[in-house]
Amino acid sequence: MQPVQSLRIWIKQHETDSGLRGGLTTAERDRIKELERENRQLRQANEILKKASAYFARAALDRPFWK
């Protein structure tokens, strides 16, 4: 990226953060990234729990049932 373009982007973001221009502020962008990361981690944990549940359910069906 050219230095002039970098400066324009920085100025535009500063104006957005200052309320002079519409768009997402830096804080909002950071929060969205944080929420997306958390969402991804929760989806992975959910997938692991589903697989573990299926594994243990199969194991429970495979063993004999005695009272």
Residues 6+ apart with CB under 8 A from 32: 24
Sign of CA dihedral 12, 16, 17, 18: positive
Q: How many residues does the chain have?
A: 67
Mean pLDDT of 6-10: 94
List, for residues 17-39, the tens digit of each pLDDT value.
999 999 999 999 999 999 999 99
Question: What was the pLDDT predicted at 64?
Answer: 72
Residue 10, CA atoms < 13 Å, CB-side half-sphere? 7
List, for residues 48-67, the tens digit of each pLDDT value.
999 999 999 888 777 776 65
